[in-house]
Amino acid sequence: MVESQLIHYYHAEPSGEKKGTLVFLHGWGSNSPLWFSSTLQIIEKGYELYYLDLPGFGKSQSPRHAFFLSDYACIITQVMEKLEIKKPILVGHSFGGKTAVRIASKKLFPLAGMVLVDASGLPHTSLITKVKIGIAKTVKPVTNLSFMQGVRSTLLRVSGSDDYVAFPEARETFVNIIREHVASELGEISLPTLVVWGGKDDNSYTPPSDATVFTKGIAGAQMRIIDNANHYCFLDQPAIFFQALFSFVEQNYGKN
């Protein structure tokens, strides 16, 4: 528990002597087990793994008030401190990647490296994005009568905010997170960084062109585009994703 917030996590011990630690952050509306199929086998290579369920998702407690990006970054930092994790590589997908950028840019916790997987956080002013923000802001007061709840859920799903339906008290948080951008923070990062992207990512917040922006914005960052993969590239092409992740981890934790 951190800041009176119950945070759930999964922990996997390495086989043999520990080389290093990886901490995984899932995306908005997701949860930690989505990582398992494409990453758990890295314990056989000597790496300890932590998967954190972010506040309001998975088995973690929902925030008691509207969160901003810094609130999520602070909670994650405190969890790593409480678990006494030493210089991990932080792996973040989508919103988890955005949060990782905030932690790295503000140097909230000592890190050995960072992996951004189809990360959000860059400004996009498409009509789709504006509609999502508008619906998230207005649909609750318009449809707060009991007989309107089905209409409310339908509107949110049509808008692409079905994750918000599962976490309705996060209306303000949802808007806060969409509105916050991290592009100006990329130049403050001085960590080994790998940017991994699905070449067919059709999420309105994370088009493939964003991979180049992150890579150019973070000094020395490497980029890997995975063909025939969408927003969840680690699920679409797990073997390719694992190899990219493992190669980067070995580079930064030393080779045998």
Farthest CA pair distance, the chain: 63
Ordered structural domains, the chain, with CATH: 9-123+181-253 (3.40.50.1820), 124-180 (no CATH)
Mean pLDDT on 133-154: 41
pLDDT in tens, 37-73: 999 999 999 999 999 999 989 999 988 888 999 999 9
pLDDT of residue 7: 94
Mean pLDDT on 233-249: 97
25, pLDDT greater than 80: yes
pLDDT in tens, 66-108: 899 999 999 999 999 999 999 999 999 999 999 999 999 999 9
User: C-alpha dihedral over 66, 51, 124, 183, to 10 degrees?
Assistant: 90
Q: In which order are the strands placed within the sheet that holds 222-226?
A: 9-12, 47-52, 20-25, 89-93, 113-117, 193-198, 222-226
152, pLDDT greater than 50: no
Tell me the C-alpha distance between 145 and 141, whole Å.
Answer: 9
Task: Enter the pTM of the model.
Answer: 0.85
Q: Which two tokens stand for residue 149?
A: 């709840």
DSSP track, 69-90:
HHHHHHHHHHHHHHTT--SPEE
Nearest to 59 by CA among 117, 4, 3, 10: 10
**Where would I find the beta strands (DSSP E) of 105-204?**
113-117, 193-198
Tell me the C-alpha distance between 157 and 138, whole Å.
Answer: 14
